Structure 1
Amino acid sequence: MKIEWIEDFLALIDAGTFSQAAELRHVTQPAFSRRIRQLEEWLGVELIDRHSSRLTLTAHANAYEGAMRDWLAHLYAMRSRIRADALHGPRAILTTQHTLMVSYLPRLLRYFRQNAPDTRLQVRSSDRSECICNFQRGEADLLLCSELEGVPLSFDDEEIERIHLGTEQLIPVCASNRFGKPLFNIENQSHLPLIGYSADSFMGSTLASPYLLNLQRRYDTELVCETSFTIGMRELTLAGLGVSWLPSGLIEDDLISGKLISLIDLLGGPRLVVACYRRTGEDTLPVDTLWNLMHQSPPVV
């Protein structure tokens, strides 16, 4: 099987006709048709319904078009990584959750760049649970994540090192009104709109007890939005949709400007730890360099 056959097939889908696809691929139409046939013979199934007057894919082709595109994209991405490693040397891969990608990671990257400008690093952002899985599967060298204070991650593999980078507060906030006061008078009103985390998310389980439990005992709460997307929650809170608990590192500027009002004295909130993990015994120079920098004087969380 040749990679160009997959490229031909996807070009045919995009172009809509054999003639236009052949032109895009810079081959004659008979040669292009032969390559599509060769792909079908290699797969052992027909991809094109040749009984139709228009270009029509078979059920198999429709089912696997997305997978073919993904496979081709991953293949070329791997080629780029291999070439980059050969040209520039090895790199470290850091995985982190979306919230830290916006709040703390930019400061950490600036610190790395200032102190180790030649050290290569790739960042991958995902949900916290997926980041942990990626690290456990060996798909990332470094894991940067939030933890509930006093409850670090537990790994079966004992060859895991951890650095405590700092702590931040999970703060209940709401938007301000035109007088710079909380949009919701939570001291006097009984009804309270809530922008909440999904119950099965890290933040959701962190807040479940006692914070949300106390809130539901005290107020008639209305869950106006439930999500695990912390950055989206910030935008909805700024828009005045309700009250939410957000990491202090994410909303520092909003609190200073007065766009968001802290309700921490009334509703409370847990403290979170920002920590980084690495697997020992599989180190490369980039990983060692960045790890040592985090041990020295990393930026404040």
Structure 2
Amino acid sequence: MHPRWFTLNGQDFFARTWGDPSLPPLLMLHGFPEYSGAWEEVAQELCDRFYCIAPDQRGYGQSYCPDGVENYRTGVLASDMAALAAELGAPVTVMGHDWGASVAYGLAMFFPDVVARLIIVNGVHPVPFQKAMAAGGAQSEASQYINALRREGSEEYLARDDFSKLLQLFSAHMDLSWLTGEKLAAYKVEWGREGRLKAMINWYRASTLVVADPGVPVDLPQIDTSRLHVACPHLLIWGMDDTALLPVSRKGLEEFAKDLTIQEIKNADHWLLRQKADEVAQIIRNWMSQ
């Protein structure tokens, strides 16, 4: 791994990189509550073919961390990564997980010229996800943590007892056996940087997505979905045991991505980048070779 700094939209961003810079770039976008190190195992599997670049996104790790919820709207986050893609020599292959998937979709939809291919790993397109969360069913129930995170002061609660509450949230009904020893210590370093935990949660506060109470569907306003399509080839990799994002959250995705390939991985949950790095990497290799 080689550290690298970028100046994006006038601000400093830290990234971890793997591989030869002369290889095709693969931009890897982490989710909550992770950081650029989340990609370590997958990048090591792919760095013989790609120059893997994993930034700490805005508010995370060592990167730019402004105050104010308004600084974490998805459009702002995507603008950061569009600038990075341009610096890497756009168009590039973009890969996102969890919240990083939301930014990756934002790039593909609103900055299509910088995205050659889109790879999503247990992440969701905003339209199917919003429909599922508004329905009052299983995804609404699974997403109640979003409303909890949005509450004032949630960052102080999650930081208590050496981040024990955050770890409980991180591992709810999923396998966190990989997060021990040096990995756990590294995560705590990133969570403990000044202002970072609040900034990470501000991603949720800035989002306009509505989470219905279980059993109480919410009527959604009509929106223009014409700009919410993915024109480039799109691969979705899905760990089937994910309890935070359920299969219903991707229902109808093919309406927004005509060139869509879905590959499912059994015995893996939301943290499949750590659990099944070799399998994730092989799926990517096979798809990119088509």
TM-score (norm 1): 0.29
Larger radius of gyration: 1
The structure with the greater share of residues assigned to strand is 1
